[in-house]
Amino acid sequence: MARKIGCLTGGGDCPGLNPVIRAVVRKANHEGLEVIGIRYGWKGLVTLDTMPLDAQSVSGILPKGGTILGTSRTNPFKDEKQLAQVIDNYKKLGLEALIVIGGEDTLGVAAKFADKKLQIVGIPKTIDNDLSLTDYTFGFDTAVNIAMEAIDRLHTTAESHNRVMVVETMGRHAGWIAVYAGIAGGADVILIPEEEIDLDRVCDLLRKRHSRGKQFSIVVVAEGAKFKKGEVVTQENKIDEFGHVRLGGVGHILGEKIEEKTGFETRVTVLGHVQRGGSPTAFDRVLGTRFGFEAVRLILEKKYGVMVSLQGNKIVSVPLQQVAGDVKLVDASLYEIAKVFFG
């Protein structure tokens, strides 16, 4: 009887998930392991919704965005019945181990199940790049390139109309996308969750730029950036199963305030989920492939309760418990570099 491992993707989708799944299947099959795909994240282990994963099912998925397994934001630890079902179904499937591909919340659940003796290996996924103990997560590079291209395109229309263009990127707790895309796209101001927005300073920078003859400006703001009162801007008060509100709208408020204070015509572009979609970059395809390969290798060595991680150019493993609940914020030194170009 073949040894079986499971694989699931949870939380927000991102480019690079399919390359990971493909690598897991190809490496596992090469080693004589059978792979069972768990559909729709942790929800699939609650409802026992699975699909076989073999060479044919992963053929051609390398360049595709999203995840062939589907995803959800199900948190089985919110319900004792669901918690018991996950453990029971893990046993029913006869899994030797489970590969969990996800971000802070999905891996937080994985860490708790590892405490309950489920044999788990985590793979870090988030376009926000805010998971600790790994230099990069796959999906981030693609999101940055999408945001950078948008900023490049907005430069021409901003210059044509002598406008201030506010670009809102994703980034709940950390401004990695905003900083990287802002620097690469030549933004004139970059605002991130790590530092409260100083509206007066922003407007002064824009005025100084205009006084030098530059009649247009690009302002990049992460969705989780906060004004001085310290509150994030939300689309609604409803929270998900992990206690998160739905962010969005800071760009529009910022644009209104800039136009009101400076008199400069201002327009707002919210990039939103377009940053999650589409084909992954070469970097994310290769990183995802390396992560998937290493996760299976760790299972073969019976090393569980760990997450694969990129440190420098090496793929290593780190304890899941140390990753859960620890957000990696933007390096202060990187933001200082960005500030040199403000205004």
Cβ atoms 131, 323 nearer than 8 A: yes
Pairing type for strands 189-191 and 164-169 reads unpaired
Q: By three-state DSSP, how is residue 68 classified?
A: coil
- Alpha carbon distance 36, 13 (integer Å): 19
- Alpha carbon distance 299, 259 (integer Å): 56
Cα–Cα–Cα angle for 145, 151, 154, nearest 5°? 145
Cα–Cα–Cα angle for 144, 325, 96, nearest 5°? 95
DSSP secondary-structure letter at 227?
Answer: B
Measuring CA to CA, which residue among 10, 5, 8 is closest to residue 31? 5
Catalytic residue among 13, 128, 130, 284: 128
Q: By three-state DSSP, how is residue 337 classified?
A: helix
- Alpha carbon distance 124, 111 (integer Å): 13
- Alpha carbon distance 192, 227 (integer Å): 10
Catalytic residue at 128?
yes
- Alpha carbon distance 325, 160 (integer Å): 45
Residues noted as catalytic: 128
